[in-house]
Amino acid sequence: MKNGKIKCKRIVSIVLTFAMIISMIIVNPVRVSAKTLDDYGKCDSTVTGTITMNGSGEGYHEIKINVSNNSGKTINDWIAVIDTGNKISSLSNQNSDWNALSYFYEGNIIYAYSKNNNVIANGASSGELEKICYSGSGVMSVKIYYSEQPDAFADYKKSASESESEGSEEIINKEIEYNYAKLLQKSLYFYDANMCGGDVTSKSAFSWRDDCHLQDKNAEVWVGSRNTGQYTGETIDVSGGFHDAGDHIKFSITNAYASVMLGIAYKEFGSAFDETDSSEHYKVIADYFADYLKKCTVLKGDKVDYFIYQVGDGDDHNYWGKPENQTDSRKAYATSADNPATDQVSLSAAALALHYINFGDKVSLDYAKKLFAYADSFENKSQCDLDVVAKDSNGADMYPSKSWGDDYALAAALLYEAEKDDKYKTAFKNISDNKIGEYSIYSWLSWDDVSAIADYYGKSDPYALNVAANNMKASDTGYSCLLAWGSARYNCNTQFLGLLYDKLSKNNKYGVWSTNQMNYLMGNNAMKQCFIVGYNDFSSKYPHHRAASASSDAGQLSDKHHNLMGALVGGPSDANGTYSDKQDDYVGNEVALDYNACLVGAAAALYLLHKDDEGIAKSLMTKDDIKGVELRKTYGLSDVAPTSEPTSAPTSTPTSTPTSTPTGTPTSEPTSAPTST
């Protein structure tokens, strides 16, 4: 939501505004007390609520409700009962700090009441600016239950509040180990699988990955669109970096985003990496990200001349096979005066500044400062222009960012932490105070928006982390499914934000909720399905990933299929857990740099949260944990020294084959966005 902090004024007549935003997520409704509201107060024609429809748009309704007291006496407690006309399937933000009201629902009814001021004098009206987010239809009617007694509805509210708990801690699947130490260790290995360039053989832990795309050492530099762009006549070495997802394109925005999220995880929860023997592994990955982003930064003298924001294009999606065999030349797309790509340049500056903060790499800091100066040099700051950004083979935009202020603000905040130069503090303040470049702490954390993270580092105040996490929590109970495409990614992003807020605020608001959500992803669900490849025997086995498939067809499984250990798949398409482990399913079964980034951070935070708890497994990986995984290197095995040869043979022949014909890779995916405009 892009509204500011809500300010409430106590005056005789205040209008109560509800902005209702449909999120289309199925969750469990609140079960209120067995007693009815009639047992606690009255409902009659002397105290009324009137509704005025203020307007509506795609996904939301805005109404005004005025609560009037003509009972002849002062009301000291009340509840508004709002009939939406159709069954509600989810409700969110009811616990957000910025909300003036609390609310819950049952069936098609929303129950709302004031958090702080329930008193309405006779002959007066009362209300407070408010937003309610729910999936349902518009409001049809409202009635008011009231009482002259203070806290008359306290027990009723309490029963509802208790039913809105953070989810059951019951372990349904008792056949697996819920071990956040091993989860952290394994989740890092995914990045080994997506390494690109001439150092893959020496750096990647997987023995089935080798040097690839060596032609990127002499990539042609292009500006403009895929179909009408122009070759500049230059070539550049942009080898290295990481393939974006199950394909082999390299996007600087996802390389930078993953680098930033992993870097924050290490910065804030570094002891988890040390205690699980994961620091060495993370350092290899972090250096690989930093080296690539520096290659993408082309200097002319002491200044940035241009920045490479993409290598390869949508034709890549027409190829299904191992990256080592993909030898065609690839274009490198560069920024220009018409397309400054402030988002990508700034996020890369943030990643390199964070690399300096974590490891003291002064070269990375120097590049970060130069990139920020380059971003700042343009009067026409903007996100990568969708009219000129490289497109896929069907003409659709890939990673169409909707904002740049968040990336710019994060770079400024981290550079100020690194340098203590006031010019960076001023740059951050200008963006955050004036909400420039679509800067909004209510936006969902994703590759497209890091406003909440930027706000924390710019202000040393975790408030924004809590606001964004609350805004992303699709449910308090069951699986929190924010979007059908890549739902597990958004689930982990929410966990990471919440756990980061808890750590920085010395709170424990999200600990139970995040634990339950992560346990669900690890296999604690009715389907006994684990959504992290190679974590346990219930894990997804056939992610949408060309290199791991060992196949030339997305629709055909190979008996040489590799174990993509540590990869988080897209996950369930709804809160009911709808999911199919199919290699050609790019919505529910693809993997990506941004998917795993917050999985790593959440795993690190949960390890530290539970490391002293009795009954919680915290042992490190052993040889048994990597059976069937072809590794040339291992990190942190508790019962073996690091290896230089594969630790096991390829996995056995799959027991099933796909039930559908092959499908192509999508041209784009839904972008995350604020839940309201």
With tokens 């205040």, the residue in question is 14
186 with 128, same domain: the answer is no
Using DSSP's 3-state secondary structure scheme, residue 295 falls into: helix
Do 70 and 44 form a contact (C-beta atoms < 8 A)?
Answer: no
Residue 43 lies in a domain: yes
131 with 249, same domain: the answer is no
pLDDT digits (tens, 9 = 90+) for 43-86: 999 999 887 665 554 444 555 667 889 999 999 988 988 887 76
482 with 589, same domain: the answer is yes
pLDDT, residue 212, reads: 98
Q: How many CB atoms lie within 10 A of CB 652?
A: 10
Q: Which residues of the chain have pLDDT under 50?
A: 1-34, 57-60, 89-98, 128-130, 161-168, 395, 642-677
Q: How many Å apart are CA 540 and CA 564, to the nearest integer?
A: 10
Q: Which residues pair with 68 in a beta bridge?
A: 48, 125
Phi and psi torsions of 259, nearest 5°: -60, -40
Residue 352 lies in a domain: no
Q: Say which amino acid occupies 118.
A: N
Both structure tokens of 227: 């179909």
Residue 267 lies in a domain: yes
Using DSSP's 3-state secondary structure scheme, residue 98 falls into: coil
pLDDT digits (tens, 9 = 90+) for 559-578: 999 999 999 999 999 999 99
Q: How many CB atoms lie within 10 A of CB 319?
A: 16
pLDDT, residue 54, reads: 58
Residue 205 lies in a domain: yes
Using DSSP's 3-state secondary structure scheme, residue 288 falls into: helix
Dihedral, CA of residue 184, residue 188, residue 189 and residue 193, to nearest 10:
150
What separation, in Å, do the N-terminal and C-terminal C-alpha atoms of the chain show?
Answer: 6
Using DSSP's 3-state secondary structure scheme, residue 453 falls into: helix
Interior angle at CA 616, CA 589 and CA 579, nearest 5: 15
CATH of the domain at 145: 2.60.40.290
592 with 483, same domain: the answer is yes
Residue range of the domain that includes 66:
37-163
156 with 210, same domain: the answer is no
Q: How many Å apart are CA 142 and CA 81, to the nearest integer?
A: 5
Among 555, 576, 611, the domain boundary falls at: 611
Pairing mode, if any, of strands 77-83 and 109-114? antiparallel
Among 611, 630, 651, the domain boundary falls at: 611
pLDDT, residue 265, reads: 99
pLDDT, residue 321, reads: 95
223 with 89, same domain: the answer is no
pLDDT, residue 648, reads: 40
User: Considering its fold, how many domains does the chain have in total?
Assistant: 2
pLDDT, residue 420, reads: 98
The greatest distance separating any two alpha carbons of the chain, rounded to the nearest whole angstrom, comes to 85
Do 638 and 276 form a contact (C-beta atoms < 8 A)?
Answer: no
pLDDT, residue 391, reads: 54
264 with 152, same domain: the answer is no
Do 66 and 15 form a contact (C-beta atoms < 8 A)?
Answer: yes
Return the beta strands (E) in 172-272 as ranges: 219-223, 230-236, 250-251
Q: What is the CA radius of gyration of the chain?
A: 26
Residue 396 lies in a domain: no
Among 133, 163, 193, the domain boundary falls at: 163
524 with 591, same domain: the answer is yes
pLDDT, residue 474, reads: 84
Residue 452 lies in a domain: no
Q: How many Å apart are CA 66 and CA 117, to the nearest integer?
A: 15
Let me know how long the chain is: 677
Q: Which residues pair with 59 in a beta bridge?
A: none
Using DSSP's 3-state secondary structure scheme, residue 69 falls into: strand
- With 0-12 / 13-18 / 19 or more C-beta atoms within 10 angstroms meaning exposed / middle / buried, residue 28 is middle
DSSP string, 139-175: --EEEEEEESSTTTTHHHHHHHHHHT-S-----S-TT
